Structure formats: C-alpha cells, structure tokens
Structure 1
C-alpha cells in the first residue's frame, strides 16, 4: 500500500466528512477521522482497524488541535490530504443572536478551521507538499437573512484561504476553497443553534422559510467524487463551487453584483482613490 494517501478529515462523524472518509478508506487510503464525538465511527473503525484512526477533537481548542495533529502524523508518518470540514450553523437574524452564540459559532466555523490549518502546515511544508481542502459555502459571496453569521464565518475562511494559497504554493502545498452547495449533511438539524426569535422579524422569517422550501437536499455522498478528484489533481483550482444548481446560483449573484456596481459607477468614480 505504498501509494496509499493519508487523510485528516475534521467533522468526520457525519455528512460530507463521514462520506469522504468512507470513500477514501474504500479506495485503500488511510484516514484520521476527527470529530467531537467519535462514537458514530465505531462501525467504520471495526471495518478498517489498521487504516482508520478515530480522533476525538474539539477544533475550538487550539492547543488540543496541535497536540492531536501531532499524534495523527505520528500514527501514519505523514499527511497528504487535509479536509477542513468541521462546522455548524447559527440560524437567526443578526439582531437576535447573543454574544455567546456568535463567538461560539465563529470559534468553530472560522477559528477552528484556522487552528487546524496552522497545525498541519509545518508537517505539509516539511514533507514538501500536500493538499488542504477548506470546506466553505456557495453562500460566501453575500449575506442572506437568517444565516448571516454562517455566511460571515465561511466568507472569512474563504478570504484567509485565498491568502494562504499564495503563501504556501512555493512549498508544494495546494489549497482549494471548496464552496459547497446545499447537501443533506445534518447542518440544519443536529448542527444548528437557533436564536430566540423577535416578533418584529416574523414576516421575514416566514418569507425565508418559504424560500428554503421543502425540497430534499441531495446526500453528501453525491459530492464526494468532486472531493476525490480535487485531492488527486496535480494542479487544482484555488476555489471551486460544488453543485450544479449552486454553480448557476453563484453566477447569478455575481452578475447581479456587477450590474449593481455598474449602475452606481458614476458615484464610485467621484472619489479619486
């Protein structure tokens, strides 16, 4: 199994992380599967006892992240693909969220991803390369009512990851921001914290709930072939939208934004900067 890659996947107990771990293992690779609760991984561990290491990890604990990454490298000797996938949802209006909710949310979705990134980079740099897949969202191009903080955290990770890609490319490390569309990952159920609703926002909340609709999102396993191909490409893109409908939606958003800029170009150009 000389060509087997070593994966580190955060948020590996469910959703995209779990599906990616299963596919990597089925393909003969080795996986360090990190999650706050690794009990859901027991069956998978029994199936692949020599190639799967379940790693209890709270990504908000920076010291623990560095310690556990060190253990992961010691277990398999290297890291080839890191999937920075752990995350959650804070659902509610901007005004409704408490300070505790906002800080806890960004601790996972932004700072947690940064801690994992900082922890793995010395090993990837020392071995002369590796892949870092930063899982963000197709919604990072602009905020949307009820999910503003989720978009903010993912947009921050987008921006940091784009800078990171420039910084580490010379070391052979390839970084891709993976802008996921809507998949049935459990994000809106077990992964959601909800604000205390204010009555003043109920009409908009009802409108947004109708917009989300009752459509059943595709299973995360349907997106895994994209993850696998990204991990194998010799020269992967720095960012990629995952999902056909999401691709169209993101293009529509960008085109509308260009139209808005153009319509107010005369005001923008009044300033010399």
Structure 2
C-alpha cells in the first residue's frame, strides 16, 4: 500500500467523476469522492470501505471547498492526484439567460474549479512524487457555439487559467493537465442541465442545433478512464490533452477552419502596426 496514491475527485457522483473514481480504486489507490449528493456513492463506499471516503461538497462555496479539502487530505494523509471535474450545463441562447442562471453556472464551472485548485495546491506541493492536478474542460472550449455559449465560456476560462497555473507551479513539482473531454454519456444534458426560457425568435436556430447534435450514441464515461489513469502516472504529462478519438479529429478540423478564417483576413490585420 505504500505506493497507493490518494485521489481527490470532484463531481464524483456520476459520469466521468464516478468513472475515474472506480478506475483509481480498481488500481489499488484510495479516493476521496466529492459531490453535492453523496448518497449515490453509498454502493461504492460499501464495496471499498477502506479505500473510499465520500465527501459532501458544493464547489461554488469557497469556504466549504477549503474546509472540504482539508478533510480530504486528512482522510488518507495527503493528496497525490486531484481531478477538478465538477460542472454543469447552462443550455440556451445568450440573450435568453438570466443573471442568476449565468452567475450560478460560472460559480460551479469556473470559480468552483479555481477554488479547488487554490485549496489543493499546498497538498500537491507536499506530495511524495509531485502532485498531479487534472483540470476537466471540454473539446468545445476553443470556440463558442450557439445554445451552449456559457458552458464553452466557463471551460475556455478554465483552460486559460490552467495554462497559467501550470507555468506557476511546475517548479514545485506539481504537474497540471487540461483534459479537453469529448462528448461522453455523462448525463450532462439531462440531470446536469439548467435550461433558459426559450424565446420564439430563436426557435429556428434551436431546431437546427438540435438536428446537428443528432441522435448519435456517446461513449460510456469509463472508456475515458484509462487515458486519465495514464496521464496521472506520467512523470512528464501533457499540459493539455484532447480525450476522445473522434473529438481529436473534430478539434483539429475546427483549428484548421479558424486558421483559414484568420488567413482570409490577414491583409486587414496587418494594416495595424501592433
């Protein structure tokens, strides 16, 4: 057990967080699984009574996060791998979203992840072989898309902060990796979604977007777990990684389209000396 690592995973009640927790436990590691509702983790706790601690946590509450991280570190004597996974979806057009909805969404998807990162860093600096912080974002964080603009905005902000954080903490032996996740069957668009009040003027576009999403079956979250397990074990992991074969192709295509757009307007860009 001396080589067993301690994981702290937020949003561990379902989807990717649950899959990562199960994979870590299967590998002989110990896990502090954080979620707002820990009752759904009872079966996992019963199966792994000495290796899993379920922690009730609302990541949008900064004080609760810092207190919760201290309890998490005390549970198994430290933290080695932190997966910043908690999040939700705000579905709807930008004009439709209310202030309370937008702030609540960003409190979880962006600020909550920042609070967790701040709280765990002292423990990751103290980790035996250098701590690992895995920041779960999205393959869609590189550009906005109608109906999911605020989700993309929160993930893009976390992408940027995580890049900065990686530069700031690598000299302390802490490695930060941005996991740009593809479209896994996590329940994000069902139990994890808050929807705006639809405005009739946007119905044609909404219908187009729903048709574009289609009825394609998304892969199960556990199919992404081996990638995360490998990243967490690498002495020099990537700073950012697209997780998903189809997602990799889609992101590369988006990047090519963006470059073509910039090149099309290069003449206008170069009129300014800056």
When the two structures are superposed, what TM-score results if normalisation uses the length of structure 1?
Answer: 0.99
Q: Which runs of 5+ in 2 are unaligned?
A: none
Q: CA deviation at 1:127?
A: 3.5
Contact kept in structure 1, 2:132 and 2:175, CA below 8 Å: yes
Report the 3-state secondary structure (helix = DSSP H, G, I; strand = E; otherwise coil) of the residue aligned with 1:22.
Answer: helix
Q: Distance in 2 between matches of 1:133 and 1:126?
A: 17
Alignment match, 1:174:
175
Q: Secondary structure at the match of 1:95?
A: helix
Contact in 1 for aligned 2:13/2:40 (Cα 8 Å): yes
Q: Shift in Å at residue 212 of structure 1? A: 0.2
Match of 1:28 in 2: 28
Distance in 2 (CA, whole Å) between partners of 1:254 and 1:24 is 33
The Cα shift of 1:122 comes to: 1.1
Q: CA deviation at 1:26?
A: 1.2
User: Aligned partners of 2:12 and 2:126: how far apart in 1?
Assistant: 25
Give the drift of 1:23. Answer: 1.0
Q: Tell me the TM-score normalized by structure 2.
A: 0.99
Kept after mapping to 1: 8 A contact 2:106/2:154: yes
Give the match's secondary structure for 2:151: helix
Report the Cα offset of residue 243 of structure 1: 0.6
Residue ranges of structure 1 left out of the alignment (5+ in a row): none
Is 1:209 matched up with 2:210? Answer: yes
Partner of 1:40: 40
Alignment match, 1:81: 81
Deviation per residue, 1:16-62 (Å, 9 max, x gap): 00011011111110000000000010011011111100000000000
The residue number in structure 1 matching 2:271 is 270
The separation in 1 between residues aligned to 2:209 and 2:169, in whole angstroms, is 40
**CA distance in 1: counterparts of 2:124 and 2:28, whole angstroms:** 21
Question: Relative to structure 2, which stretch is displaced further, 122-131 or 218-227?
Answer: 122-131
Counterparts of 1:239-254 in structure 2 under 5 Å?
Answer: 239-254=240-255
| Greater alpha carbon shift after TM alignment, 126-135 vs 141-150 | 126-135
Query: How far is 1:87 from its partner?
Result: 0.2
> How many Å apart are 1:216 and its aligned residue?
1.1
- Structure 2 SS opposite 1:240: strand
Distance, in Å, in 2 between the alignment partners of 1:51 and 1:134 is 23
Please, what is the CA RMSD of the aligned residues?
Answer: 0.7
- Residues 56-106 of structure 1: CA deviation (Å, up to 9, x unaligned): 000000001000100111111111100000000000000000000000000
Runs ≥4 residues deviating over 4 A? none
**Aligned twin of 1:118:** 118
Aligned counterparts of 1:56 and 1:68: Cα–Cα separation in 2 = 8
Measured after TM superposition, the shift of residue 126 of structure 1 is 3.1
Partner of 2:57: 57
